[in-house]
Amino acid sequence: MSVFDHIEFDEHEHVAFCHDKETGLKAIIAVHNSHLGPALGGCRMWPYASSEEALNDVLRLSKGMTYKAAMANLSQGGGKAVIIGDPRVHKTPEMMRAMGRFVESLSGKYISAEDSGMSVSDLKLMAEESTYISGTKASYHFAGEEADGNPAPSTAYGVFVGVKASVEYKFGTSLKGKKVAIQGLGHVGYRLAEHLHREGAELYVADIYPESLNRAKEQLNATIVSPQEILMLDVDVVAPCAMGATINRQSVETLKAKVIAGAANNQLATEDLGEVLRSKGVLYAPDYVINAGGIIDIYHQKMLSSNEALKTHLEKIGHTLREIYSRADEQKLATNVVANSLAEEKFRK
């Protein structure tokens, strides 16, 4: 199949392929849309079974970045890069530098950040060869943490702002006393739990590893539940913060929470579930809107802005969600459908 006929092609502006014989680098960069600015998106390294699978992933992800950047009010477009290979086996410093040269060859059309299989130290190697790399800036984060360029603290703060706005919209109350179930206490989930605890929410948490669960129990007074139960608890909010597609036909049947608001990417197994949630009276915070804190952080690192500017921008996630929710109610449409059309209004105008 040619790239132009690919099911995920969807008017991509630029797709570039690179094979660097010396380092073994095989990579693809996709720029979906740069109407609002240069395409910003992470670089992923993954042991794809075929180049077709890698192409599929990069096209799908770069399109998603266009929607995410537009709804985060960034003057950026959407793009993504993938490297074919197992990061634990095939990655070398020379390969990372070769990837930097590949990014540089696009002359700023695409700006690269971190994604699965890549770390801040890999980005620093890429940055030796390219000025179009973001997410390497060590700073003292506004949340009081030392940050090495990884945007998880901002993602967590943005999700917290989003949960707060969703609860206010749905119940007309603050978070005090609200029951929130968090699926996944990783880089984002644990920090989200800390923010929610400070606001007086009652926490229920699940993970597949015990360490962070025990810490949450001791420090945040959280109740530990099993991964099988977490989505079906009788709580006010469910926050998926582990993997994608956890909101599926089966979990929707047993869901009791009236708000779904979390960090995970691609939470809905299929897009039509947005409508199923709406008909059940469940308020769903579209994932790429509520979890945009990471890309907002990367953008501000690139602009060398202040912590205050970053924080103010992250807080706008609440405003954007409120806009989506009121439009969805007015038009009797699912929130994911409304988010897509609002994003398209922005990047297609």
Could you tell me where the DSSP H helices lie in 50-202? 51-71, 93-104, 120-127, 152-171, 187-198
Is residue 309 a contact residue for ligand NAD (CB under 6 A)?
Answer: no
In this complex, which beta carbon is closest to ligand NAD, that of residue 15 or of residue 259?
Answer: 259
Exposure pattern of 215-252 as b/e (b: 16+ CB <10 Å)? ebeeebebebbeeeebbbbebbbbbbbbeeebbeeebb
Q: What is the DSSP letter of 37?
A: S
Tally DSSP H helices, then E strands, for the chain.
Answer: 12, 13
In this complex, which beta carbon is closest to ligand NAD, that of residue 77 or of residue 184?
Answer: 184
Q: What is the DSSP letter of 222?
A: P
- Of these residues, 26, 68, 80, 258, which one is catalytic? 80
**What is the C-alpha to C-alpha distance for residues 15 and 252, in angstroms, rounded to an integer?**
37
Is residue 226 a contact residue for ligand NAD (CB under 6 A)?
Answer: no
Tell which positions 118-177 bind ligand NAD, by CB under 6 A: 151-152, 155
Length of the chain (residues): 349
Figure out which of the listed residues 227, 306, 312, 331 binds ligand NAD, where binding follows CB under 6 A: 227
In this complex, which beta carbon is closest to ligand NAD, that of residue 95 or of residue 242?
Answer: 242
Figure out which of the listed residues 43, 123, 231, 242 binds ligand NAD, where binding follows CB under 6 A: 242
To ligand NAD, the closest distance from the beta carbon of 324 in angstroms equals 18
Least Cα distance to 83 among 108, 114, 105, 107 occurs for: 114
Q: How would you class 40 by CB atoms within 10 Å of its CB: exposed for 0-12, middle for 13-18, buried for 19 or more? A: buried
Q: Is 80 a catalytic residue?
A: yes
Figure out which of the listed residues 117, 135, 149, 184 binds ligand NAD, where binding follows CB under 6 A: 184
Scanning 37-45, 86-94, 242-250, 335-343 for contacts with ligand NAD by CB under 6 A, the matching segment is 242-250
Figure out which of the listed residues 243, 309, 319, 341 binds ligand NAD, where binding follows CB under 6 A: 243
Is residue 338 a contact residue for ligand NAD (CB under 6 A)?
Answer: no
Token couple for 223: 């109740």
To ligand NAD, the closest distance from the beta carbon of 230 in angstroms equals 7
Tell which positions 261-280 bind ligand NAD, by CB under 6 A: 263-265
Is residue 286 a contact residue for ligand NAD (CB under 6 A)?
Answer: no
**What is the C-alpha to C-alpha distance for residues 128 and 146, in angstroms, rounded to an integer?**
23
Q: How far is CA 66 from the centre of its chain?
A: 12
Catalytic site positions: 80
Residues that bind ligand NAD (CB under 6 A): 151-152, 155, 183-189, 206-209, 227, 241-244, 263-265, 291, 294
